[in-house]
Structure 1
Amino acid sequence: MSASTSVSSPTMPTWAVQLKNPPPCRSKQPGIPDPPGFPSSQTPTSSKKKDAKDSKAAQRQAPTPEEMDTLKLKKAWEVALGPIKSLPMTAIMMYMSGNSLQIFSIMMVFMAFKNPIMGILATNQAFERFETETNRARMLQVKIAYVAMQLVALALGIWKVNKMGLLPTTRSDWLAWEERREPLEHAVPAL
């Protein structure tokens, strides 16, 4: 029998032999906890001590009201700066849509006016989940910044309308009786 086992082992590849007989586990470094759901193969008494230690670590203390106000204020600033983050893409889309009156450019201009106006009107609703009695004064600064960012987005829409030639910026746009200029010279094509 020993001859047959010695014959079969040289024919097996090395990886297959290592797969059947894995190397022993190395000792774990102290201080590194096991991932959740993968307990170590330690003795039962040491695992009980470890479970008690992990349960204490898992119990998180509730944040203080000051910490909650700070966290809510940070989240409110993220909401307030949100409109300015989408501004570069909106500007590129407006530039690429051209200055002629087409359905795509008209829709872009409509959205450039609608979104900031709706955002300004819904300022209180956007920040009501972050506002508490203790951070009301600091939340006012966030709301002012939010309205300023919406006004910048609205200015981008006004820029686009001006580039399309829809803003009345010349005298002839405002005065119905403004006369056309008479040219001093006339050019006639030669034969």
Structure 2
Amino acid sequence: MSSPPPPPPPQWVVDLSSPPAAKPKSTAIPDPPGFSAASTGNRKQVSSSKTTTRAPPTTEAMDTLKLKKAWEVALAPVKQLPMTAFMMYMSGNSLQIFSIMMVLMAFKNPAMGLMGTNQAFEKFESEGLKGKLLMVKAVYVVMNILALALGFWKVNGMGLLPTTRSDWLAWETAREPLEVAIPAF
């Protein structure tokens, strides 16, 4: 007894194993600017009159571009301030793990930014930008100090900064709270 022959493969398998033939290119439509037929896999010769090479940018253009990118890096810390401030506001002033993590991040990120100022701008340094880059670095430092100030505002709001005389002097009495909350059972 012989077994029946296997069924023929489905049509989609046949279609995948033999892709459709490429359509001939219509010469009525020109290639878009910057298109090279050699990069698409076609082996057609491309005349040198159709290809255009872009001239390398001048040093002034590169310095201008580098300065714009350096300003973007310098202003990045201030772009994070609204979100950080909102997160700190929403975490509350009580000592909880979330508010402690927010305060740690509020101090860690600007401190790391201040310590890595030269590394953040070393890719933008060139002979023509020495003086201008100094101003950009100063703005970057000021923005990170502003972010640190936000962290100090949060720590003060949590009551962790020693701001009264009784925090420093043992013989001073602690300030009396204006309100006292007593939980009900």
TM-score by length of 1: 0.68
Q: 1:161 aligns with which of 155, 162, 166?
A: 155
The structure that has the greater radius of gyration is: 1
Letter in 1 for 2:173: E
Q: Deviations over 1:92-120 (max 9, x none)?
A: 10000000000110010011001101100
- 1:98 aligns to 2:97 (yes or no): no
Q: Which residue of 2 aligns with 1:142?
A: 136
- 1:54 aligns to 2:53 (yes or no): no
CA contact (8 A) 2:114 2:144 kept: yes
Q: Deviations over 1:120-166 (max 9, x none)?
A: 01000000000112211000000000000000100000000011000
Map 1:31-180 to 2 at 5 A.
33=32, 36=35, 52-56=48-52, 59-179=53-173
Count of residue correspondences: 144
Change (3 A) 1:181 1:111: closer
Q: Which residue of 1 aligns with 2:6?
A: none
CA contact (8 A) 2:36 2:51 kept: no
Misfit runs of 4+, over 6 Å: none
Matches of 2:101 and 2:75, distance apart in 1: 24
Hey, which of these two has a bigger chunk of helix by percent?
Answer: 1
Change (3 A) 1:34 1:70: closer
The answer for unaligned runs of 5 or more in structure 1 is 1-24, 39-46, 183-191
Deviation (angstroms), 1:169: 1.1
Q: Which residue of 2 aligns with 1:13?
A: none
Deviation (angstroms), 1:36: 3.5
TM-score by length of 2: 0.70
